[in-house]
Amino acid sequence: MSGTFPAVREQWRLRPRQGAKRDLLSLHDLTVEEMEHLLRLAAEVKANPGAFRHALQGRSLALVFEKPSLRTRVTFEVGMAQLGGHAVYLAPADVGLGRRESVRDVARNLGRWVQGIVVRTFGQKILEEMAAAAPVPVINALTDLLHPCQALADLLTLQQHRGRLQGLRLAYVGDGNNVAHSLLHAAARAGMHLTVASPSGYEPDAAILAQALEVAPTTGAILRVIHDPTEAVRDADAVYTDVWTSMGQESESEQRRRVFASYQVNADLMKRAKPDALFLHCLPAHRGEEVTDEVLDGPHSVVLDQAENRLYVAKAVLLALLDEVTA
């Protein structure tokens, strides 16, 4: 694909299904083809950034963040600027979703000023309430349940390092959290073979797994949830982990360290995967807990590529959604 963005704009929009806009609250909202489109668009943005530099000129984006952020905030804010638009960051004290002002009122007010809203919050229901009330697209920048933009960046990273996603074997070792949930949605649509290894009681949500399993037969994906990390990583093309204690779970940190102690991704565990297996982590990492320095900083680690690819995914999502909105 070449030339300026307007020449391909029609091709890459995410079409409204019901109503006048599309949101990205979950990868489960996307068809297989739509997720493939976003990945192709992200790859094109990465390869030809100049072709998109005026695509969202005159448009504004609100970043409503109830949780701290490095990669998500910077990539959406920088991405919007590089597309010719403008982003406004709103910290917890600025908005106070559901406390200082109702979620519905925040959404309706923002919809009068901006062409898109990126939300990083705790409950998925807060995000859904925001999307229901906002007249402009709402994008999930992380909730306790899901992290869809991260999973898209993960797939983009795997695709660029391995040349394919179909049939790729990915092992996720650790907490069945929001990252694991979105990886299940993503792997099902990409035709990947994903094995999640979590301690008993910390497995992914059963409803999320059921959603992913509904899609898996259409792409040939194989999805498993087990308890043995050694079995999970056997012959894996890539090994993924995340922190054992997510934001909002700090009171459980000591208990989780004990429960997850045998789930650390270290050199010994990586030896059970393929010799050239990649290591992934969404960051930030708790070094010495879920992963050792030897693995995180090792030659097979692609964590910085993942972080970089968050930018191209953010830009692809913004292009696909905000282009429908009149500035």
Tell me how far apart the alpha carbons of residues 312 and 76 are, in angstroms, rounded to a whole number.
9
Q: Hey, how many other C-beta atoms are within 10 angstroms of the C-beta on 265? A: 24
Closest CA to 79 of 103, 98, 55, 96: 55
Q: Which of 23, 71, 264, 282 is catalytic?
A: 282
149 is catalytic: no
In degrees and rounded to multiples of 5, residue 224 shows phi and psi of: -135, 145
β-sheet bridge partners, residue 278: 238
256 is catalytic: no
CA torsion angle 260 266 272 276 (round to 10): 130
Tell me how far apart the alpha carbons of residues 4 and 78 are, in angstroms, rounded to a whole number.
20
Contact 213, 223 (CB under 8 A): yes
β-sheet bridge partners, residue 286: none
Q: Which of 147, 169, 185, 281 is catalytic?
A: 147
Tokens of 208: 């999320």
150 is catalytic: yes
Contact 244, 287 (CB under 8 A): no
**Distance set, CA 307 to CA 120, 128, 257, 273 (Å):** 17, 26, 25, 23
CA torsion angle 103 182 299 160 (round to 10): -100
**Beta-sheet pairing, 169-173 with 238-241:** parallel
Distance between first and last Cα of the chain? 26
Q: Which of 144, 154, 237, 242 is catalytic?
A: 242
Residue that is written with structure tokens 């007249």 in the block:
135
Q: Hey, how many other C-beta atoms are within 10 angstroms of the C-beta on 123? A: 15
Q: Which of 120, 169, 189, 281 is catalytic?
A: 120
322: which residues sit within 8 A by CB, 6+ positions away? 56, 59, 61, 85, 115, 116, 137
Tokens of 254: 């000591």
147 is catalytic: yes
Q: Which of 150, 159, 211, 306 is catalytic?
A: 150
Could you give the residue numbers annotated as active site?
A: 120, 147, 150, 242, 282, 310
